[in-house]
Structure 1
Amino acid sequence: MDLKKGYPLQTFSILLIILSAGVFLRAYHLEDKSYGLDEEFSVRYASLTPGEIIRNVEHEPHPPLYYLILHFWIKIGGDSELMVRLLSSLFGVIAIFIMYRLGELLFNKETGIFASLILALSTTHIIHSQEARMYSLLAMLTLLSMYFLVKIMNEKRIVFVIFYLISTLSLLYTHIYGLFILLMQNLYIVILHLRAKEKPDISLKQWMGIQLLTITAFIPWFWGLLKQMGAAFGKISWLTSPPLSDLFNTLLWHSSYNPVTLALFASLSLYTILNWKRSGKHISLTVRQSENNLLLALWLFIPILVPYALSKLIVPIYSSRYTVSSSLAFYLLTARGMNRVKNKYKKGLAAAIIILAMPSLLYHFYFEKTAEPWGDVAGFVDSHAIENDTVIVEPAYARNSFERYSARDDVPVFNGRGNITGGNGRRWLVLRYKDLEESYKKFTPLEKEKFGNITIYLINTSENTNS
């Protein structure tokens, strides 16, 4: 691939094809699945007033920016699955273009094209772009922050500083893991000033001034963050101390959960970072001295290793999906490795593997039933229940998901902890990841149906119990 300077027709055409593929893959079957529990929470949380969203930090471990954007988006387009998820898809498509620009800025146009191709086809990012959560926004803002970081390093213009501040502050207000991107950026700048022969265009003093502005603007939410370290981290108590295998699984997740893709990405990333020479039977390996390689290596590992260490030493906060920002560095390293391959047939083979292997799990994502098809669950109960039946949903926080898709006003819904009164004795038990409690096991189920991880039982508490 020979891409000349400027924006020739060839570059524009290839980028347009990649963006079109990204749009299609992120919009396909966008509205087919019912909301998962996390998505249902997003929609309900975004229905609060902006003031309530900002103040309720103790009830939600994530910063408020995504919910604020979603709040106004719903005001305009409603809360259907199509409209709500379309916001995430929009962030995902914009990220593809920014990835191209960043790859071009760091290396060259071909690297930008390869990086945008990988991102466009990434099953991981397609999934994030089809769910009503903040992860596609997190990826987009990470790319923006990194783009303007590189810009102000090379060209100290006030407009780039302003855009860096806006994108980085937005990143911090989107997800706690934005702090690890900020940590990585500061570590990178300090290393450059300590070891680089040619210092960055921005001085260390000027950089610290920019960081002071960023932290100062983050202070309004800082006290909420401190509360999270105590009370609100309990809201993610479902996270456990991660085993060492989670580090491998994280890279596998970023490689579309395909071992072939992971092997290719790892090989090309090492090819980017390492310089090898062969002399007779001997092969020597040295680390390629490159500021951009250093940036990408820190970007890949810091947002993974630091929260992993904190999870082992202090409190579990590690989740592979939270490290979505690191995947972007992985893709850029891979793209640069492809760019460095001189043999056009090997380069074409690598591109073919990516095109064929990365979307390999999309068929299952698009067409297989989800683990929690709440629309099907509510539809089954609605079609089989009779007047004055009662529905009990466990755990209690899953009740909202059931009620969104249930159209029966004559069938009251309770959670297991509520005071269940009235009814005809017939109970529909909707259990997520739960089995029948002892108090119900004495009744013979009249019906039992399973939808993914949700099991429905019909019992009659007014009849005689099992012998």
Structure 2
Amino acid sequence: MIVSSRKNKYFAEIVAALRPRTRQVTWAWLAVAALTVLAFLMRRKGLATQSLWFDEADLVARAQQDLGALLGDMLKPGENGPLYTLFMHFWLKVAGTGEAALRTPSMIAGTLVIPLIYLLGRKISRSALVGVIAALLMTVSPYQVWYSQDAKMYPLALLLTMTSVYLFLSALENNRKSWWIAYVVLTTLSFYVHLMSVLIVAVEVGYFWLAVWWPHRKLEKAIAAATSNAPRLTIFQKIRQAYRSRAVIALSVLTLPYLPLAAWQARALWDGGIGNTWFQPVGFFSMIDTLGRRFGVNRIPDTFWESVGAIVYALLVMGGLLVVWRLFWVSRKTAPGLENVQPEKEASNSQAAWLLTLYLVLPVVAFYLLTLRIPSFAERYLLIASPAYYLLAAWGLTWLLRKFWPLGLVAGATALVFAGVALFSFNYSEAPQKEDWREAMRWLQSNLRDGDEIIVVPGYLQTAVNYYLKTPPNVPIYTIPQDLLNGHNDPDLNAYLSSENGIIRGHERAWLVVSPDHYLQDDPKEYVRKVWFDNNTWMFHDPQVYVGVTIYGYTFKQIPGTKADYYPRQRADRTNIKFGSSLKLEGFDVIPTASTEKNLPAGQVTYDSQLHLTFYWRKTAEDNQDYVFEVRLLDQNGHDTGTNYPAQPLGGYFPTGRWNINEAVRDYRDVYIKLPPGQYQLELLAYPRGQPQSPLPVSGTYNDQPLSQPADSTALRLNYPITVVKTTP
């Protein structure tokens, strides 16, 4: 009876450890509900302020594939996030492809993690306060808000992996089949949302062996020694076997289907066959520094204050680590023998120390080891490890509040202040923080002309161009194959660009669209831009620089594939007009804006649009002077409307002083129309650079007739009336 009594006593204690006592705390749930609402509002604010970056636009393109292709991706080795893409396929049909609609699933997932981290914090710490503080830190985290406003799978992967950890702990507590089944299902789904989710399973396995199996094995031996030496199984052994069987089954169900994919990934990893070329190698301490900044304050424009904010959060996290490990070691020292064993206390402290340490450290270390083979570091991939960061910071802050509450209040307030500074200076900034494809393509859209072409480098950025640019059929978009971006004079590259079937053939102008960081990874010497285009074209416009996007405009020196100087003109006027003694205007064209809509009748433009002009010049005599050409709009009374556009030809990139005798040049002018409806007339004049008071005399013939203006004229009135209308009919 004594032995049986002692068995029952320790059995009850063990069960108590595996089924921790928790109780609902009204104030805590009210606080969590308020924080969840706040999290939703914070993630909803400015949801569509930032442009889509290329990865988000790429998601749209992939999600719009046919259903059969998406289902096939579910079984394709190396496909990352096929389940999320499949989900977005149906979401786009319901919600549309607008920026806010695309980011709404991430916003919802980023909101739902708030009550979940409270549940995790309360379960691990046995303290509602730790859970509430963790929920607060995660609610206001600029890092969490940032990725909750990103149309990618990372917030959903975070939600699923956090749910996986919670279900795993719950299954260990009660060993019910329903918990194990739910755990297996949710964890499996997380694999198909993001490949890095497998790192959280590694955390769970490590925790099971270090914090559950190994410590309880020592308890089993102590119980066996204190009860009897009979060979039959003790009650604890039976319990352990039951847990082992279900845990092994659950982990096997998760692992076995993954083995074929893991084998392929291992081979590809060894051969270097997977990974993205735009990533750069990152050292371990640089990775830790980046993650510390992002997990804490994400980004603050002033790097000094960003560093200070990151240090504040790091101190709270380190304080949390010290607290949980101190509790762990104290609990072990107070239980030298069976008579002093406190299973519930030991399980609780062991759970916190091992779980939070593994949760934070193991994914980071494992991912770093992966990057040694293939550079692939981006902080968003480790969003799944961030809950441990906030739980540890919450534990450290809770300890301060209980032991030195004034210091705890100061520390908490400081952390919140830095979060607020980061949110309003970066997350909620009206200035572009992501790649600004929206504004870049808006500018390009307004400057496209019929017959232009667009070349996107690297080619995978084309999805971002396609998302924002409403490209008309006569403006094709091309990419350059990556194997041709090899930094030297490759005949294959020349053939691809300028051969009889080359992509530039039949086009007068090309717009080169690049994302500098990505472009330099594929073409580090910038051979395509600095060598091929600079030697074969003239730049005609200042580079348009946006966040993460740059647009270059080029015109070909001659018609590709011919020896002709000019493309067939839209206007058949015979123009032979001299400006001074060395410049001759041989013609001009008014080119409609390239549009998917019907163009206006010739000579009509709308308010707040552009009038696209091309002037055809030729140098007839030696002259080293650089001249400025000025285009004006005159009203019906011949008065200057103030719409003046003085500039050297081709934006100053090919001034007249560098022209060779008899060299033909096409000069492009875009006149912005900010005039009321009515009729206007174009006027053109030329003068030496810096001497607008000395315009060149104009003489010659137009359609074989002398100019209908005084012989001493210094400006040419073009025989092309312009009519400004309110809107497109």
Given the two structures, how large is their TM-score scaled by the length of structure 1? Answer: 0.88
One-letter amino acid matched to 2:93? K
Deviation at 1:11, TM superposition (A): 2.6
Residue 401 and residue 274 in structure 1: after superposition, are their counterparts in 2 closer, same or farther (change >3 A)?
closer
1:397 counterpart residue number: 460
Deviation at 1:90, TM superposition (A): 0.7
1:241 counterpart residue number: 281
1:25 counterpart residue number: 42
What secondary structure is seen at the aligned counterpart in 1 of 2:297? coil
1:357 counterpart residue number: 418
Deviation at 1:422, TM superposition (A): 5.2
Residue 266 and residue 374 in structure 1: after superposition, are their counterparts in 2 closer, same or farther (change >3 A)?
closer
Structure that is richer in strand per residue = 2
Deviation at 1:45, TM superposition (A): 1.4
Residue 330 and residue 14 in structure 1: after superposition, are their counterparts in 2 closer, same or farther (change >3 A)?
same
Instruction: Give per-residue Cα distances to partners, 1:54-96, cap 9 Å, x unaligned.
Output: 4347686414121122122112212211111001111111111
One-letter amino acid matched to 2:119? R
One-letter amino acid matched to 1:310? L
Q: Is the 8 A contact 1:102 1:147 kept in 2?
A: yes
Deviation at 1:31, TM superposition (A): 1.6
1:280 counterpart residue number: none
Select which of 305, 318, 325 maps to 2:365. Answer: 305
RMSD: 2.8
What secondary structure is seen at the aligned counterpart in 2 of 1:274? helix
One-letter amino acid matched to 2:215? R
Deviation at 1:416, TM superposition (A): 3.7
Instruction: Give per-residue Cα distances to partners, 1:154-212, cap 9 Å, x unaligned.
Output: 11122211221122112222222222211121111111311345689762333111111
What secondary structure is seen at the aligned counterpart in 1 of 2:552? strand
Residue 47 and residue 382 in structure 1: after superposition, are their counterparts in 2 closer, same or farther (change >3 A)?
same
1:279 counterpart residue number: none
2:138 counterpart residue number: 119
1:132 counterpart residue number: 151
Residue 269 and residue 450 in structure 1: after superposition, are their counterparts in 2 closer, same or farther (change >3 A)?
closer
1:348 counterpart residue number: 409
1:13 counterpart residue number: 30
Select which of 352, 368, 373 maps to 2:431. Answer: 368
One-letter amino acid matched to 2:407? K
Residue 221 and residue 76 in structure 1: after superposition, are their counterparts in 2 closer, same or farther (change >3 A)?
farther
Residue 269 and residue 408 in structure 1: after superposition, are their counterparts in 2 closer, same or farther (change >3 A)?
closer
Residue 357 and residue 275 in structure 1: after superposition, are their counterparts in 2 closer, same or farther (change >3 A)?
closer
Instruction: Indicate yes or no: 2:106 matched with 1:88.
Output: yes
Instruction: Indicate yes or no: 2:540 matched with 1:446.
Output: yes
One-letter amino acid matched to 2:452? D
Aligned pairs (5 A) from 1:41-440: 41-56=58-73, 61-107=79-125, 108-191=127-210, 192-196=212-216, 203-218=243-258, 221-222=261-262, 225=265, 228-229=268-269, 233-244=273-284, 245-257=286-298, 258-274=306-322, 287=329, 290-291=349-350, 292-312=352-372, 314-341=373-400, 342=402, 343-363=404-424, 364-366=426-428, 367-409=430-472, 410-417=474-481, 419-421=502-504, 423-433=506-516, 434=519, 436-440=529-533
Q: Is the 8 A contact 1:189 1:204 kept in 2?
A: no
Q: Structure 2: which 5+ runs fail to align? A: 1-21, 221-238, 299-305, 332-348, 482-495, 497-501, 520-525, 559-564, 566-652, 659-729
Q: Is the 8 A contact 2:77 2:264 kept in 1?
A: no
Deviation at 1:380, TM superposition (A): 0.8
One-letter amino acid matched to 1:446? F
One-letter amino acid matched to 1:105? K
Moved beyond 6 Å, runs of 4+:
199-202
One-letter amino acid matched to 1:48? Q
Instruction: Give per-residue Cα distances to partners, 1:375-421, cap 9 Å, x unaligned.
Output: 21111111122222222221111122112211241422222456425
Deviation at 1:131, TM superposition (A): 0.9
Given the two structures, how large is their TM-score scaled by the length of structure 2? Answer: 0.58
One-letter amino acid matched to 1:249? T
Higher mean C-alpha displacement, 224-233 vs 100-109? 224-233
CA distance, structure 2, for counterparts of residue 61 and residue 256 of structure 1: 31
Residue 174 and residue 224 in structure 1: after superposition, are their counterparts in 2 closer, same or farther (change >3 A)?
farther
CA distance, structure 2, for counterparts of residue 233 and residue 27 of structure 1: 39
Aligned length: 455
Q: Is the 8 A contact 2:112 2:159 kept in 1?
A: yes
Deviation at 1:104, TM superposition (A): 1.4
What secondary structure is seen at the aligned counterpart in 2 of 1:339? helix
Q: Structure 1: which 5+ runs fail to align? A: 277-283
Give the structure, 1 or 2, with the largest relative contact order (CA under 8 Å, sep 6 or more).
Answer: 1
CA distance, structure 2, for counterparts of residue 306 and residue 104 of structure 1: 27
Residue 172 and residue 408 in structure 1: after superposition, are their counterparts in 2 closer, same or farther (change >3 A)?
closer
